[in-house]
């Protein structure tokens, strides 16, 4: 999976996507058609090579011919700890060869039906050659058996060099990588809920139930002691990094800039000490006391964390930091976003935020702007201002329903050029191809909540796979 990067920022190492692969066919055919098995194994080798080309870490357990070999393959795949297990149906094989694999591995299954070429040569084909094209034959049988066994069924049909099929396979692999990352992720939650934001309130148990991972509940004192321990040389290095990345406007006060850099260094230590993969935070503060100053100094460091692949969301928005993490792991960025205004003259929805931004998806060099006040919050300091790269984008939010369950909510649009506010916010003009008011009503009615992630590219195809592997509903607002 391609990662978006900022040259002056070292991203966290990518977690490899672990894919199990097993190919198979009915052993009764081998003595009947001696040339068939070598041809099928050659096709299986081609699938293995192409999957490695997609950047996955492949555990290939070889070729199976009956249910006993399937059981052995299942055990090896179980031990491998796969994010996704791919079963390549090279020809007909019984459901009894596939169901045990699905039952024993702790991973979703993807069935492949990839025939050797686009079509058979009907003038010369014989029974043995036809059977090499017969991977579609067992698909309905396997799907029926999965349904009756309570196993999720998904498949990709095509041919070995079919670009469309391999694009679909790549989506499943990317989604499996997201699923695997979420299952082991550690999410920091620091401070307290923004007063009155009922939609932001999140059940921590439901996060683990729906996505896996661990929620590390943090105090602002955890950041305070680490920020206090930062050395002058660390601050200077962070300031130099910031000057390399950002255009620093004249509105930035040196004292505030240095404080933001110091807090950024404290955040680096916090993330390292607790092994965090994401962070959501908020603290109100009072009359300039130390916790208020810490909260007001977060935006620079939180933006740098997000660029490293550790998304940070303000206003205690745990579900949005999850959405940002999903978008980031799909190679799409994912910037903290809310509605700002509707522009009926130009037919666009203006959206962004005054908090952390994903610097890798900026349209040009981002800038730092000094703010004497953060609207609706206490404190003052430096804020990040940028326009997300123009072109196709996807919004992704994590909504919660009345019964407590989560769902992914997405919409695709296009960022277009035009006038923007210059008030220290990320701001983008998104064209959804329809009346901005009607779109806003539908987006709000989806249950998305106050915030979401803004990601580059049209990503609903990958998000549909991600939601399916997570066992979540995907709501697309068109």
Question: What pLDDT score was predicted for residue 1?
Answer: 54
Q: What is the 3-state secondary structure (H, E, C) of 266-311?
A: HHHHHHHHHCCCEEEEECCCCCCCHHHHHHHCHHHHHHHHHHHCCC
The answer to whether 354 and 326 are in contact (CB under 8 A) is no
Domain residue extents for the chain: 18-182, 185-476
In the Cβ-directed half-sphere of 219, how many Cα atoms lie within 13 Å? 4
End-to-end CA distance of the chain: 26
18-182 fold: Rossmann fold (3.40.50)
Q: Which residues touch 332 (CB under 8 Å, ≥6 apart)?
A: 4, 361, 394, 455, 456, 457, 459
Give the contacts of 456 (CB within 8 A, at least 6 positions apart). 4, 332, 333, 361, 388, 389, 391, 392, 393, 394
From the number of C-beta atoms within 10 Å of its C-beta (0-12, 13-18, 19+), residue 136 rates as middle
Provide CATH code, domain 185-476: 3.20.14
Least Cα distance to 463 among 393, 414, 391, 400 occurs for: 393
Tens digits of pLDDT across the chain (478 residues) = 567 888 889 999 888 999 999 999 999 999 999 999 999 999 999 999 999 999 999 999 999 999 999 999 999 999 999 999 999 999 999 999 999 999 999 999 999 999 999 999 999 999 999 999 999 999 999 999 999 999 999 999 999 999 999 999 999 999 999 999 999 999 999 999 999 999 999 999 999 999 999 999 999 999 999 999 999 999 999 999 999 999 999 999 999 999 999 999 999 999 999 999 999 999 988 888 899 999 999 999 999 999 999 999 999 999 999 999 999 999 999 999 999 999 999 999 999 998 789 999 999 999 999 987 776 677 678 999 999 999 999 999 999 999 989 999 999 999 999 999 888 889 999 999 999 999 999 999 999 999 999 999 999 999 999 999 999 999 999 9
Pick from 94, 63, 61: nearest CA to 80: 61
Cα–Cα distance for residue pair 355/426, rounded to 1 Å:
8
DSSP code at position 65: -
Instruction: Give the per-residue pLDDT at 7.
Output: 87
pTM over 0.85: yes
Q: Round to whole Å and give the CA distance between 300 and 381.
A: 10
Distances (CA, A) of 135 to 23, 128, 156, 389: 11, 13, 11, 43
Let me know: does 247 contact 368? Beta carbons within 8 Å.
yes
The encoded tokens of residue 164 equal 């469309």
How far apart CA 310 and CA 264 sit, in angstroms, is 13
């Amino acid at each position: 999976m391609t990662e978006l990067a900022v040259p002056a920022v070292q991203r966290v190492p990518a977690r490899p996507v672990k894919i199990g692969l097993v190919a198979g066919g009915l052993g009764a055919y081998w003595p009947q058609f001696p040339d068939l098995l070598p041809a099928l194994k050659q096709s299986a080798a081609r699938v293995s090579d192409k999957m490695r080309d997609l950047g996955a870490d492949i555990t290939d357990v070889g070729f199976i011919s009956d249910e006993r070999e399937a059981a052995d393959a299942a055990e090896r795949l179980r031990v491998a700890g796969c994010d996704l297990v791919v079963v390549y149906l090279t020809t007909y094989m019984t459901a009894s060869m596939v169901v045990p694999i699905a039952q024993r591995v702790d991973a979703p299954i993807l069935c492949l039906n990839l025939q050797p070429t686009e079509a058979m040569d009907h003038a010369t084909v014989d029974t043995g050659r036809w059977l090499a094209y017969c991977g579609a034959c067992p698909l309905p049988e396997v799907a029926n058996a999965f349904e009756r066994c309570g196993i999720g069924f998904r498949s990709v049909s095509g041919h070995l060099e079919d670009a469309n099929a391999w694009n679909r396979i790549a989506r499943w692999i990317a989604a499996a990588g997201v699923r695997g990352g979420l299952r082991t992720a550690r999410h920091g939650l620091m401070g307290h809920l923004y007063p009155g934001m009922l939609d932001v309130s999140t059940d921590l148990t439901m996060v683990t139930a729906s996505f896996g991972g661990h929620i590390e509940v943090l105090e602002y004192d955890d950041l305070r002691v680490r920020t206090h321990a930062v050395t002058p040389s660390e601050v200077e290095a962070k300031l130099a990094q910031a000057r390399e990345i950002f255009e620093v406007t004249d509105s930035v006060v040196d004292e505030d800039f240095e404080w933001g850099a110091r807090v950024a260094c404290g955040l680096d230590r916090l993330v390292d000490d607790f092994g965090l993969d994401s962070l959501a935070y908020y603290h109100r503060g009072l009359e300039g006391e130390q916790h208020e100053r810490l909260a007001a100094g977060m935006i620079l460091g939180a933006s740098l964390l997000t660029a490293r692949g550790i998304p940070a969301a303000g206003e205690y928005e745990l579900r949005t930091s999850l959405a940002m993490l999903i978008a980031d792991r799909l190679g799409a960025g994912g910037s903290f976003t809310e509605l700002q205004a509707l522009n009926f003259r130009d037919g666009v929805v203006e959206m962004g935020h005054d908090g952390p931004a994903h610097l890798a998806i900026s349209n040009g060099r981002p800038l730092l702007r000094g703010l004497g006040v953060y609207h609706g919050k206490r404190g003052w300091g430096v804020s990040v201002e940028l326009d997300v790269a123009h072109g196709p984008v996807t919004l992704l939010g994590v909504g919660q329903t009345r019964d407590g369950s989560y769902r992914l909510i997405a919409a695709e649009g296009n960022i277009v050029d035009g006038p923007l506010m210059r008030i220290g916010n990320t701001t983008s003009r998104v064209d959804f191809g329809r009346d901005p008011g009607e779109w806003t009503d539908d987006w709000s009615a989806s249950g998305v909540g106050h915030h979401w992630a803004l990601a580059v590219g049209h990503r609903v195809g990958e998000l549909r796979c991600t939601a399916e592997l997570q066992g979540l509903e995907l709501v697309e607002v068109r």
